[in-house]
Amino acid sequence: MTDDIWGQVRDELEEAIGQSNFVNWIEPLEFAGVKNGVIVFNVPTSFIGNWVLRNFGDQILHHLNKAGQGVTRIEFATPAASPGKRSAAPAGRTPRPLKRTTGGANRGAASASDFPGAPIYARYTFDSFVVGKPNELAHAAARRVAEGGGAVAFNPLFLYGGVGLGKTHLMHAIANELKARRPDLNAVYLSAEQFMYRFVQALRERRMMDFKEMFRSVDILMVDDVQFIAGKDSTQEEFFHTFNALVDQNKQIIISADRAPGEIKDLEDRIRSRIQCGLVVDLHPTDYELRLGILQQKVDQYHADGDRLEMADGVLEFLAHRISTNVRVLEGALTRLFAFASLIGREITLEMAQDCLSDVLRTYDRKITIEEIQRKVSEHYNIRLSEMIGPRRVRTIARPRQIAMYLAKQMTSRSLPEIGRRFGGRDHTTVIHGVRKVEELKTTDDQLAEDLRLLRRSLEG
């Protein structure tokens, strides 16, 4: 690996964990080298090393592996220690994700004589996956595949959805579950980028036969983020052949992408149509309940790890409400709060959350406006925008208006009086009434619940 690749990974990390985390924790790392799957950084103090390992270890590995680097472990060298010799994780406080990641990698990759799979994160299990309405179908399908233990349920299983909604997590969960149930099976997970990287490498080294043989000898193949190979013709070609060979042998294939098969540009038609022979399921954007559940689970995890974190009431609700799309960002925000609170040794309060996360919160503020919501809802119900904010109270107009109020409350950070003002100068009690009405209806009225989901999706997308 080169400084360049680390540079690229650093950029991705900055985006993933936010600038202030990046400046505090990643910038101080000086890349020292990679050997036998271990990446070494020089750090000024072991404290930094510990923090990074514990809080960002997974993400660093994730991005390194995405960049085609088969790295399974991170080590830190402090000025006092000789480089590479010393791990920053003291005994007894070994960060869980990392420790298990290493174990998973060894087992996963070693079983098929240096098979080019990527490490499986032991932390990404079905147990740690919080199920809610937006992801229940994808979760059920993934479980079915994992529990089939090699008996093919649907081929391929194609999971798609926006960034950070849990595709990779589910694929790793399948791998982990299979490993426990059927250790004899050879389940291989890798990103489409890695597939391409291996393919190109095999071409260059004239080892295509080995490559083909290896890929045709797996029992379950999982390829993450296949949108990446669209337009890369020879890679697609090879992928297609691998795919067919495995399907013909009745081996399970699981694929993910960030969008539906029909929406991936430059994906060969024959690949697309084979994908559509299997089961295609999508992960919808998260809803408030799911986000709250995920946050709660993270906090429980921290407590289980022995962290005594005090948190005021309402902080999780605030985060779930305000950070509304990407689970990775949500987790990152919580990690940052934890880091901050433990540095200054204070309880996490709402004010602290607002201060410490102001940059993240601002990004999400900008995203959706009340006007956009009004426009989308009017279009959806085929009424005029002027009617939406006008005085008429007939049901066909009042209901969409209430739905728009509800979405404005959920998806923006505007106060109730502010929302009232934007709806033709209505009182905030009218807004409260509207929001309550929709909350009530959506549990009994399936059509309305579906409308809400659609509207939310189109607003977020």
Please tell me whether residue 243 adopts helix, strand or coil conformation. helix
Nearer Cβ to Mg ion (123/167): 167
Q: Can residue 168 be called a binding residue for Mg ion (CB under 5 A)? A: yes
Stretch that binds Mg ion, among 7-15, 90-98, 166-174, 439-447 (CB under 5 A): 166-174
Nearer Cβ to ligand ADP (49/161): 161
Nearer Cβ to ligand ADP (214/334): 334
d(C-alpha 182, C-alpha 149), whole Å: 6
Q: Is the dihedral of CA 323, 326, 332, 334 positive or negative?
A: positive
Stretch that binds Mg ion, among 54-62, 129-137, 160-168, 346-354 (CB under 5 A): 160-168
| Helical (H) or strand (E) element with 293 | helix 288-304
Q: In the bound complex, what is the minimum distance in angstroms from residue 256's beta carbon to Mg ion?
A: 7
Q: In the bound complex, what is the minimum distance in angstroms from residue 197's beta carbon to Mg ion?
A: 17
Q: In the bound complex, what is the minimum distance in angstroms from residue 323's beta carbon to ligand ADP?
A: 12
Q: In the bound complex, what is the minimum distance in angstroms from residue 357's beta carbon to ligand ADP?
A: 17
Q: In the bound complex, what is the minimum distance in angstroms from residue 9's beta carbon to ligand ADP?
A: 16
Residues found near ligand ADP in the complex (CB under 6 A): 124, 128-130, 135, 161, 163-169, 294, 327-328, 331
Beta pairing class for 187-191 and 30-35? unpaired
Q: In the bound complex, what is the minimum distance in angstroms from residue 164's beta carbon to ligand ADP?
A: 4
CA gyration radius, the chain: 24
Query: Mask 312-331, x = binds Mg ion (CB under 5 A)?
Result: --------------------
Neighbour count for residue 97 (Cβ, 10 Å): 20
d(C-alpha 328, C-alpha 294), whole Å: 11
Q: In the bound complex, what is the minimum distance in angstroms from residue 77's beta carbon to ligand ADP?
A: 27
Looking up tokens 């009182």, which residue turns up? 427
Choose among ligand ADP, Mg ion, none what residue 135 binds, the Cβ cut-off being 5 to 8 Å by kind: ligand ADP
d(C-alpha 4, C-alpha 10), whole Å: 10
Q: In the bound complex, what is the minimum distance in angstroms from residue 281's beta carbon to ligand ADP?
A: 13
Binding to Mg ion (CB under 5 A) within 23-52 occurs at none
Stretch that binds Mg ion, among 55-63, 79-87, 165-173, 245-253 (CB under 5 A): 165-173
Q: What angle do CA 38, 33, 5 make, to 5 degrees?
A: 100
Pick from 324, 384, 372, 321: nearest CA to 350: 321
Burial class (CB in 10 A: 0-12, 13-18, 19+), 131: middle
Choose among Mg ion, ligand ADP, none what residue 129 binds, the Cβ cut-off being 5 to 8 Å by kind: ligand ADP
Within 8 A by CB and 6+ apart from 375, the residues are 385
Please tell me whether residue 318 adopts helix, strand or coil conformation. helix
Taking 3-state DSSP, the helix, strand and coil percentages for the chain, each rounded to the nearest 5, stand at 60, 10, 30
Nearer Cβ to Mg ion (69/168): 168
Nearer Cβ to Mg ion (139/422): 139
Nearer Cβ to ligand ADP (219/225): 225
Within 8 A by CB and 6+ apart from 449, the residues are 442, 443
Q: Can residue 59 be called a binding residue for Mg ion (CB under 5 A)? A: no
Nearer Cβ to ligand ADP (222/419): 222
CB nearest ligand ADP: which residue? 166
Pair of tokens at residue 246: 């495995």
What is the contact surface with Mg ion in residues (CB under 5 A)?
167-168
